[in-house]
Amino acid sequence: MRTFKVLVTGGAGYIGSVAVRILLDAGYSVVVFDNLYQGHVEAVDPRAAFVQGDLSRLEDIRALFAAHPDIQAIMHFASYTLVGESMHQPLKYLRDNVANAANLLEIAVQHNVQRFILSSTANLFDLPADRASEPIDEHFPVRPGSPYGESKYAIERMLTWMHRIYGLRYACLRYFNACGALDDLGEDHDPETHLIPLVLQVALGKRPHILIFGDDYPTRDGTCVRDYIHVADLAQAHLLALEGLERFEVRHYNLGNETGYTVKEVIEVARRVTGHPIPAVIGPRRPGDPATLVASSAAIRRDLGWQPRYRDLETIIRTAWEWHRTHPDGYRSRALSSRSSPSNPGRDVCLPQ
C-alpha cells in the first residue's frame, strides 16, 4: 500500500495540510493540488510535491495527471466550506463544489485511480427536534442543513455512481467540528468563522469580544451544542480509511469525540486555558445552524480501530492556543521569512493561471 502516490486536493489548507503530514510520515508519496484560495503554501510539507491549480479548470487537472501519472488514490479536501455563506450564496456551493468534484472525478477515472476519500460534513444532518439529542450515526436520514451540506451530499451520490460504473472504491468521512493544532500547523482562515480560533482571537486582543449566534436553542444553556474533534485525529482517520479500502469497497463514517459542548462551555474552557476574560455578546441565530450535532463514531472504531488521541476539550483548545499564541499572524510571518531565503527549486510546479 505505502508505495502509493496520493493526491491531496486542498492540501495547503487546515485539515489537508495535516493529512499530508500524516501520509508522508506513514511512507506515502504525496502530491498537493491547491489554488491557495484559503490554503497557504507555507503549510505544505516540503517532502510533498506541490502543484498550484484550480479544479474548475479541466486543463489544470489534466496537466496535474500528466506530470504525476502514477497517482493511485485521492483525498479530496478542496471545497468552499462556510455554512453561513452558503445560505447567502447558494450557487457558489451547489454549482462550484459539485462541478469541481465532477471535474476531478472525470480525470481520475480516466487515469484508473482506484481509491477516493471525500472530506464530507456533519451538515448532512439537519435533525428534527424529536431526535436532536441523539448521537448521530451513519444510519440517520440525510437531510442537509445548508447548500454547503447539500453540495457534499451531491458529491457522495456522485461517488456512488463512480463505484457502480467504474469500480472506484471510496470512503466519505462526515466529520463534525475540526479544531486544535500541531506545533507548526494550525488554523489560519480569512475570514475566520470557526468558534475556537475566533474565541482565541479575543484572548490575543484581535477582537473586543466573541459573538454568540443565539442563546434560545433547546439546549442546556441555550447555545448550540457541537462535537469537537482534533485535526490530527481527523487526519489519522483519513489514513485509516484509505488503507481500509483494501478490505472495503464503500464506507461512510461519522467522526467526532461523541461528546457535545455548548458555545458557552467552549468559551469558558478557553478562559481557563488562556487566562483571559474573553467577553461574549449575544446576537441573533445564524441561518443553517442546527441546535445539536454530536457524532457516534462507533462504525469507524469497529471497522478500522480508530481511537482519537485528543479526547477532552481543554487539551484540544490548549493545542490551538499554543499555535495561535506563537503564530499571531498565522502563516504570514513564515511567508515573509521564506521570501527572503533561497527557494527550493523543483519542489513547486505552478500551472498556468
Per-residue pLDDT tens digits for 68-84: 999 999 999 999 998 88
Residue 288: pLDDT over 90? no
- CATH code of the domain containing 333: 3.40.50.720
The residue among 41 and 289 whose pLDDT is bigger is 41
3-state percent breakdown (helix, strand, coil) of the chain, nearest 5: 40, 20, 40
Residue 135 confidence (pLDDT): 87
Q: What share of the chain has pLDDT > 90, as a percent?
A: 81
Residue 182 confidence (pLDDT): 97
Residue found by looking up cell 451513519 in the block: 138
Residue 307: pLDDT over 80? yes
Give dist(CA 170, CA 159) in Å, integer: 7
The residue among 193 and 56 whose pLDDT is bigger is 56
Residue numbers of the domain that contains 153: 5-350
Residue 344 confidence (pLDDT): 38
Q: Which residues contact 3 (CB under 8 A, 6 or more apart)?
A: 29
Residue 341 confidence (pLDDT): 40
Q: Is the dihedral of CA 243, 125, 317, 17 positive or negative?
A: positive
- The total domain count for the chain is 1
2: pLDDT confidence band, cut at 50, 70 and 90? low
Average pLDDT of the residues in 111-128 = 91
Arithmetic mean of pLDDT over the chain:
91
In this structure, the strands spanning 280-283 and 210-213 are parallel
Residue 12: pLDDT over 90? yes
Element (H, E) at 266: helix 263-274
Residue 133 confidence (pLDDT): 65
Name the catalytic one among 93, 148, 170, 228: 148
List the end-to-end C-alpha distance of the chain, in Å, as a whole number: 34
Residue 148 annotated among the catalytic residues of the structure: yes
Average pLDDT of the residues in 179-191 = 93
Is pTM, for the whole model, over 0.85?
yes
Residue 335 confidence (pLDDT): 52
Residue 333 confidence (pLDDT): 57
Residue 186: pLDDT over 60? yes
